């Protein structure tokens, strides 16, 4: 055993020798057992004289195993020795073939990557709304979505609290093909600061929250709403706009629709205002590479722009 064939580092020398000793003892033990039981010794009862008789005429004989059978056992031992020389198994001895499960995995992966590269080639650098017209691409996109995006956005892409629904037509960062692609490639970091102290405490937070309700056309206490309006126009307007419609460049949501990323209960809305929110969509270019990003983004785009989505919005309008 030289340094090349010893797999140093992954196993301490003590353990290695211990395992080698156990393996060798077992092999030698088997060998001895076969040899010892195959022999007939002087004084052994003859094959027919065991004196075990059942049902009057059923007699137990004591004959050695046939030779060919014993030879099969010897062959398994020879196989063991060959196997342990070729493959790893004898402590830290790596085997003369150099095979490791890691190398096999790497080779398999390289193989798969080659096949995937062929499958992905037609979509390289294409716009996602173009990719979305290809059924095969959408299937690839869906499986990439399931593996990489569903943990946060849900397997049906309908999101959860803090994770946006990607199947509707409400976009914090924009729903144009290039905007969705940019979101997934490079990620997005939403920055809504905490406003409680700037608003003069809880009362101020409630006032702007009530003003938001009045913007949505709800019936509210006008004195609270008026107090909130002034505060909204000094602080919130720069990101959420004069009519509360939001600003996609900043990921600042429309506050007048009925979609709430963090929840619609008034105490949740007040918590958003008081403590701020910093939703983060991780950049996926470094994680899964550009073509996978395009395929996943095309799938996402199709959810709100595909044939079914168009049919649904048509029925809603009727
Ligand atoms: C670790 C969780 C996480 C993963 C994984 C993730 N996202 Fe997101 N994503 C978010 C969060 C959080 C936001 C909202 C950011 C914010 O507050 O504006 C978001 C936002 C988005 C948006 C913008 C929605 C809008 O309204 O503009 C798109 C599109 C999107 N994700 C697509 C994807 C795709 C496609 C994948 C997989 C390749 C993915 N996301 C993986 C957490 C995640
Ligand atoms: C610097 C820009 C900025 C300012 C100023 C700002 N916001 Fe925001 N706001 C955001 C962003 C960005 C988000 C999205 C946060 C996220 O996705 O995590 C947001 C989210 C919110 C939400 C949560 C919406 C949801 O869907 O759950 C509420 C409510 C809100 N803002 C209200 C206000 C109010 C009221 C003010 C003024 C006191 C204000 N914002 C000022 C940028 C801003």
Dihedral over alpha carbons 181, 182, 184, 190 (to 10 degrees): -140
**Does residue 59's CB lie within 6 angstroms of at least one atom of ligand 2?**
no
Ligand 1 atom closest to the Cα of residue 145 is 37
Q: How many A from CA of 316 to the centre of ligand 2?
A: 29
pLDDT value, residue 7: 52
Residue among 160, 187, 202, 239 to mutate when testing ligand 2 (max atoms within 8 A of CB): 239
pLDDT value, residue 315: 46
pLDDT value, residue 317: 41
pLDDT value, residue 1: 46
Ligand nearest to the CA of 172: 1
Q: How many A from CA of 174 to the centre of ligand 1?
A: 12
Mean pLDDT by 10 residues, the chain (318 residues): 51 91 96 88 75 81 84 96 94 92 94 90 95 95 97 96 96 96 98 96 97 94 96 97 96 95 94 97 96 97 74 44
**Closest residue by Cα to residue 171 from 297, 268, 312:** 297
Take residue 196 and report the two structure tokens written for it: 């409680």
Residue among 143, 147, 150, 152 to mutate when testing ligand 1 (max atoms within 8 A of CB): 152
Contact 64, 38 (CB under 8 A): yes
Take residue 262 and report the two structure tokens written for it: 């963090």
Q: How many A from CA of 276 to the centre of ligand 2?
A: 7
* Residue ranges lining ligand 1, Cβ < 6 Å: 148-149, 151-153, 162-164, 166, 171-173, 180, 183-184, 188, 190, 251, 279-282, 284, 296-297, 300
pLDDT value, residue 307: 56
């Amino acid at each position: 055993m030289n340094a090349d064939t010893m797999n140093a580092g992954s196993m301490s020398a003590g353990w290695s020798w211990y395992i080698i000793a156990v393996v060798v003892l077992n092999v030698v033990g088997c060998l001895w057992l076969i040899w010892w039981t195959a022999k007939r010794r002087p004084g052994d009862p003859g094959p027919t004289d065991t004196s075990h008789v059942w049902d009057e005429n059923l007699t137990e004989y004591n004959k050695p195993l046939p030779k060919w059978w014993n030879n099969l056992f010897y062959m398994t031992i020879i196989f063991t020795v060959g196997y342990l020389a070729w493959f790893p198994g004898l402590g830290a001895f790596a085997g003369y073939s150099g095979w490791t499960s890691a190398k096999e995995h790497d080779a398999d992966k390289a193989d798969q990557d080659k096949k995937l590269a062929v499958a992905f080639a037609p979509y390289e650098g294409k716009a996602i709304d173009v990719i979305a017209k290809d059924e095969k691409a959408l299937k690839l996109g869906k499986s990439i979505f399931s593996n990489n995006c569903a943990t946060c956005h849900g397997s049906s892409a309908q999101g959860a609290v803090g994770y946006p629904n990607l199947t509707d037509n409400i976009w914090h960062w924009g729903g144009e093909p290039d905007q969705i692609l940019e979101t997934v490639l490079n990620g997005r970091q939403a920055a809504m600061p905490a406003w409680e102290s700037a608003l003069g405490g809880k009362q101020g937070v409630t006032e702007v929250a009530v003003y938001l309700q009045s913007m949505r056309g709800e019936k509210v206490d006008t004195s609270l709403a008026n107090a909130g309006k002034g505060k909204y126009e000094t602080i919130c307007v720069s990101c959420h706009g004069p009519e509360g419609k939001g600003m996609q460049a900043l990921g600042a949501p429309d506050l007048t629709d009925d979609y709430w990323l963090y929840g619609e209960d008034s105490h949740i809305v007040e918590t958003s205002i008081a403590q701020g929110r910093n939703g983060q969509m991780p950049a996926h270019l470094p994680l899964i590479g550009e073509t996978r990003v395009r395929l996943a983004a095309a799938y996402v785009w199709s959810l709100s722009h595909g044939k079914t989505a168009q049919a649904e919005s048509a029925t809603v309008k009727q």
